[in-house]
Structures are given as structure tokens and as C-alpha cells.
Structure 1
Amino acid sequence: YNPSFFKHLVCAFLIIVSVIYFLIFDFVKKKKVLKLEEQELQEKINLLANDSTRSNALVKSLNEKIQRYGSLKGMIEKLSSSFVLDDIARFLVNETSNLLHEKGNVCILYLFDQESKELGILATKKEDSVAIIKSKVGDIFDQWVLVKMQPLLIEDTEKDFRFDFEKIPQKDARVFRSLIASPLSSGKSMLGVLRIDNPHPGVFNSEDLRFLSTIADLGAMALENAILYQRTKELAIKDGLTNLYLRRYFSQQLNQEVIRSVRKKSELSLLILDIDKFKSYNDKYGHIAGDIVLKTVGNILNSYFSEPGNLVCRYGGEEFAVLLPEVAKSKAIKLAEDLRRKIKDFDIFLRKKKTNISVSIGVATFPSDARTKEELILKSDMQLLKAKDSGRNKVCYS
């Protein structure tokens, strides 16, 4: 036994243990450092991945915006080339539906009537052919846009605190949960409302609303131009007082209808009527009263003969004419009698005094009474004179 050797052996062992402990400690320490570095690196990778995802989404969104707004160039060209109101409305709803085809289900364009102060459907585009639009004057959302003259985004109709979902009329006829709507306006003048909706909630966002508003602005300019163009055309063919067609336009249409009746071998009836003792209203109440009488008769005629195809004109002075395509003589006589009674029973107030007016009516039908346009007018006029000569407030026919 050598104590010195044993002492050196113990020292060597302790040194080896110390070295091993140090190496283990250093390894653990470095492992922790590497673990932290790995976590930091993973976080950076995740951030880069998120940035990449956001960048890809942003690129995709920008491409969609470029594609959307790029398509507006063709829309502008199309809108600027048309002055027909119905054509513009149909084009707007079709293009809006196409550009938002992934989101929209039903697109509606309402036109605002300046006289009745109500909205009325002008055009629709439905992706779902069975969808039924029962509200022809708009719902609470359209009325909101109309009154506020501001665009509207509804993410969920059942959760939007601004509106009472229970007040939506006929909500069971066509289900929609989300919508965007924009006013069609020019300055302070309201032209209508353009809207698109979807049966699912959360479909539309603020970017969709901005895009719809851009379309609405372009559409409003085209609609206004079409309305002004239509009014300009009507000024040339309509009487300013009664809003009935002028005699020149009536004569042109009568010629076309006679040709059509010959081709189709159908009947064509003509009514010519005259306000009885019209001069007495001017003499007793003044010329303003005479204008009131003319406008009243014009309104009754417009309302009574409102079916498509009928044509009413102010023939001259206190005379009016009504063209009734494909109407047999017997029916024309009945219509004339009903009209005579309707006018006679209508109360009119002149200088706060209630009075009634009457008309005399002559009826003729092509081809049974006449073979030409001129002869048809002559025969109707002769029957009118007969009605006036036999006491007025009558209907006469061959």
C-alpha cells in the first residue's frame, strides 16, 4: 500500500469527475441555448410564413381588385353608348351580378319615381331561378338607402341592431341574410337604388360595398342621361299640358297600326271625343279652369286606357283620340260608354265649386267601317258630330 499513489489516484479521479461534470454542465447549457435558438428560429419561420400567407392573400386580393376595376372600362364604354333606360338597367344588374358572381344571389335595380316618391323595380338578375321578389317597391333596407342617400352594408339581417328583421315584408318568400346597396344619385337628385343580396350571412365586406358604389356612380350618370334623353324625345311627341301624345305622332302610329292590322287580319278601333261646351268653362271660370278641365280628362284617359298597345292623344283643342289595336267594335263601344260615364261621374272643382263635365264620343273600326287610315278618322269624326248634334254626352257609332 502506497499512500502517495492512492492520493494521486483519488486526485486523478476527482479531476476526471470534475471534467465530466463540466462537460455535462456545458452540454446542458449549450443544449438550452440551442433550444432557445431553435425556438427563436421557429418563431421567425412562423412569422415569415404568416407574412408570406398575408402577402399571397394581399397579392390575390390586389389581383381581384385590378380585375374588378379593370372590367369597369368596358362597362363605361357600354353605358356611354346607350340612351335606352331599360337596356341600361338590364346591363347594370347583369354586370353587377357577374362581377360579384361569387357573392351575389339576387341583384335588383329600383328606379325612383319623382311624382309618387316611391321605388319601383326596373331590372333584376337572379342566380336562383326560383327566387321570387314580392316587394316591388323595396324593403326597409332599400328605403333606408333612399332616405339617407348613403350606401349600406348588412352582414347579417337578423343581427343588425339598426333594423327590425320582423318588419321585412314577405321574408319567407325570398331568404337573404346579407346584402349591400348603394344609391343611384346625381348631385342631390335621387334616381334609384342598386342592391345585391345573398341568403347566407357574412358574405359581403366593405370593399364589396365600395365597388358596388363605384358601379352605382357610373350607372347613375348613364341613367340620368337616358332619362333626360327620354324626356327630350317626349317633349317632341307629347303635349305639355295633358302629357298625352301629339296629333302628329298619333297619325304616324295610326298609319303603322293600320298596316299591322292588314297584315294580321285584325281589327283596329278609333275613338274621337270632345269635351262638351268646353268654351263655357273658359268663359265662366277663366282659362286656368279650362286647363284644369283638359288635364283632368287627360288623366282619366291615361288611367283608363293604360293597357300596353293603347295610344291616347290630344287631337286638338278640346278633342282627344284613342287608338285601340286588336279591339273589336263591340268592345270599343262598351269601353267608350264606360269612359263617358266615368268622366260624367267625376267631380271636378273650379274656383272651389264642384262641377261635372261630359264628353261626346265617336267610334269607328277598321276594316268594317273604313278601308284606309283617312277613312277611319273621317268615320270616327262623323260619329262624334252625330253625338254632339243629338244632345251631347253620348256615344255614337256606325
Structure 2
Amino acid sequence: MNDMRRSLLNNINQLNMTNNELDKRVYELSLLNVLNQELNYLKDYKQVFRIILKHLTAACQSERASVMIIENDELIVVEANRESEFVQIRPPARLMLENSAAGTALKKEKTVVVRNAEKSNLFKRHENNSYVKNILCIPFNVRENIKGVFNIVNRKRAWNKDNAQIAQLIINQGLIAIDNARLYELAITDGLTGLYIHRYFQVRLSEEIAKSKRFEKKVSLAMIDIDHFKKFNDTFGHQTGDQVLKIVSNIVRENIRAEIDIAARYGGEEFAIIMPDTDSVGSVVTADRLRKAMEEYDFKVEGKKVAITISIGVSTYPDHAKKPVDLILAADNALYV
């Protein structure tokens, strides 16, 4: 009788374990299904990062999460969230690879768990992260092109094996979308300047004009030309000229609205900026800010300061034109006024 009872209890325990395993598997499949639906058709890998972070904080019941990518032996925080709300990081926070939990995870290519950050040699305290109590760092690598670490902070209960497994599951699924988004970005980005290519600019300008027409809003366009660039190239050489193109591109990026305005290399030394929901007054403010930033830039060739100036022409839909080609022409003509 006792043997039968023990056998029955053993069968019940095994059945419970099987049921728990099935529940866990159903949860994982359900999570992956939702994740795939949200990741489908995303073309910006930073948006993919945001989706991953949202699911990491929810699945691991953590307060915060962030993603860092490696650049010049530093880890740069590119996206972060706090209880499902995304935190704007500008300029990006930077962390040295040495003596950090994230750096250790990346170098050893394995997950690092810090359960008591205050006493850990792997966690370096900064004035902005005194809230950190425990952290899970999971490294990732996308075709050797994007390397980094996902950090999940302050789980409400102690970390366990399931947390790391479910986090890894989410990240692995997200990496496929990151790879696809990165490949798309490479196809539409100018290799030298990092700005969008001419073809993508034309597509987006048509889209923004159509959107402005539908919602009865305005969209402005700025055309930028580097003054006397041919003479500059002839005098200092094409390599120095390429440096100037990169500098102008960086100044453009730093002085427009991130994830709203669209900056492109129009061709040669010409650049273009599409400014959605911006009237002619707003476009002139942006143009003046760009001119001033360019004039103040301390560019030197062989130790001697060389002035770099730009000309900017702006036009606004529907004030100056109603078709993309006419809006470009209006801005281009304004360059020489």
C-alpha cells in the first residue's frame, strides 16, 4: 500500500513538473509571438532596441533596462527605459570597458549577474546610478557589426535562472530584427557622412509633403552648400575635403531634431534637411543655428585655422511650392539670394 502511495505521489510530482514546464513553454511561445508582431517591419534598429527593452523589463519584473553598444573601447548607452517609459539620453552616457559589469560580460561573452552592486568590484558607481542594487548584463553580437550589452536593473525579487533564460530568449529573437534593420539602414545611408542617401531623401520628401497635405500642416526644406568646396579640395586635397564633409554632417546632425527631421547628403558637397511640421520662420531659425555652428567650428589644416562656411536656402510647403521638385528648386534658388 505504501509503495503504491509513494508511486502515486511520484507520478503526481512528475505530472506537476511536466505541467509547469508546459506552462513555461506556452508562456515563452506566447511572448515570442507578441514580440514578433511588434518587431515585424521595423526598419530602425533603435526602435527594435526599445521593443526589446520594454519586454525585458516586463518579463523580468525589473525597474529599468538599457542597451549599450561598443565604440572606441567605450560602452555607449544608446537606449534606456524606466518602468516602460523611455529616457532621452543626450549626449549619450559613456562607460569604460574596464572594471564594469557590462564590460566584463562583453569581454567574457557571457551573462554577468551582480546581486549587490554596492559591494561588487564589477560595478562602478557613478553619480547618476546610485539607485542600482542588482543588475543582469547580457552581451550580444550582430554579425560583428554591432556589439553591446543589455542591462536589466533592480528586479523586484532575487534573480534566478529563469530570468536569465527568458531575457536571453527575448534578446535572441530581437537580434534577428536588429540585423534586418541594420542592413536596411546601410542600404539607405551614405557611407562617408552617415546621412541618408539622395534616393531615400526623395522618397521621404514626397511622403512628408503628402502627409502635410492630408493633415493641413507645413513642411520645410533646407538645402545646404559648402562654400568654395572645389577650391578647398584643390588646395588641401580630397582627404581633407572628406573631413570637411564629415564635420558638416556632424554639425547638421547635432542641430536638428532627432528622429523628426531628416538629413541627407544630396550630392557632392550639397546637403538637404526635411523639417516636418515646420513653417518658414522655424526653418530660418534652424538655418541660422547651423550657419552659426559652422562659423564657430575650429577647423585646422596643418595647425592653421581654416574657415569653413555654408550657404543655406529654405522653402516651405505649401507657401513656396506644392510639389517635391518645385520645393527643392525653391530652396536651391534661395541659396543664391
TM-score range, shorter chain: 0.7 to 0.9
1:101-125 per-residue CA deviation (whole Å, 9 max, x = no partner) reads xxx3525242435366223444555
CA distance in 2, matches of 1:80, 1:166: 36
Q: Which has the larger radius of gyration?
A: 1
Give the aligned partner of residue 359 of structure 1. 310
**Aligned equivalent of 1:193, options 124, 146, 150:** 150
1:213-269 per-residue CA deviation (whole Å, 9 max, x = no partner) reads 333433443343333222211222111100111111111111111112222222221
TM-score, normalised to structure 1, is 0.65
1:363 deviates by 1.6
TM-score, normalised to structure 2, is 0.76
**Aligned equivalent of 1:151, options 95, 111, 114:** 111
Give the aligned partner of residue 118 of structure 1. 76
Give the aligned partner of residue 231 of structure 1. 182
1:382 deviates by 1.2
User: Are the equivalent residues in 2 in contact too, given 1:191–1:224 (CA < 8 A)?
Assistant: no
1:317 deviates by 0.6
CA distance in 2, matches of 1:166, 1:182: 16
Which stretches in structure 1 are left out of the alignment for 5+ residues?
A: 1-48, 387-395
1:72 deviates by 3.4
Say whether residues 1:204 and 2:158 are aligned partners. yes
Q: Which has the higher contact order (CA 8 A, sep 6+)?
A: 2
- What secondary structure, in the 3-state scheme, does the structure 2 residue paired with 1:314 have? strand
CA distance in 2, matches of 1:292, 1:164: 38
Say whether residues 1:292 and 2:250 are aligned partners. no
Q: Which amino acid aligns with 2:264?
A: C
Q: 1:312 to 1:93 in 2, by over 3 A?
A: closer
Q: 1:262 to 1:300 in 2, by over 3 A?
A: same
Give the number of equivalent residue pairs: 315
1:374 deviates by 1.9
Q: Which amino acid aligns with 2:158?
A: F
Give the aligned partner of residue 3 of structure 2. none
Q: 1:354 to 1:267 in 2, by over 3 A?
A: same
1:318 deviates by 0.6
User: Are the equivalent residues in 2 in contact too, given 1:153–1:181 (CA < 8 A)?
Assistant: yes
Give the aligned partner of residue 5 of structure 1. none
Give the aligned partner of residue 282 of structure 1. 233
Give the aligned partner of residue 316 of structure 1. 267
1:351-395 per-residue CA deviation (whole Å, 9 max, x = no partner) reads 4432121111112222121232222111111111x2xxxxxxxxx
**Aligned equivalent of 1:261, options 208, 212, 223:** 212
Say whether residues 1:183 and 2:134 are aligned partners. no
1:114-158 per-residue CA deviation (whole Å, 9 max, x = no partner) reads 3662234445556xx9xx999x95999xx8331211534455556
Which stretches in structure 2 are left out of the alignment for 5+ residues?
A: 1-5
User: Are the equivalent residues in 1 in contact too, given 2:56–2:65 (CA < 8 A)?
Assistant: no
Q: Which amino acid aligns with 1:72?
A: E
Say whether residues 1:90 and 2:41 are aligned partners. no
RMSD over aligned CA atoms reads: 4.0
User: Are the equivalent residues in 1 in contact too, given 2:68–2:149 (CA < 8 A)?
Assistant: yes
Q: 1:350 to 1:267 in 2, by over 3 A?
A: same
Q: 1:365 to 1:352 in 2, by over 3 A?
A: same
- What secondary structure, in the 3-state scheme, does the structure 2 residue paired with 1:291 have? helix
Q: Which has the higher helix share?
A: 1
Q: Percent of aligned positions with the same letter in both sequences?
A: 24
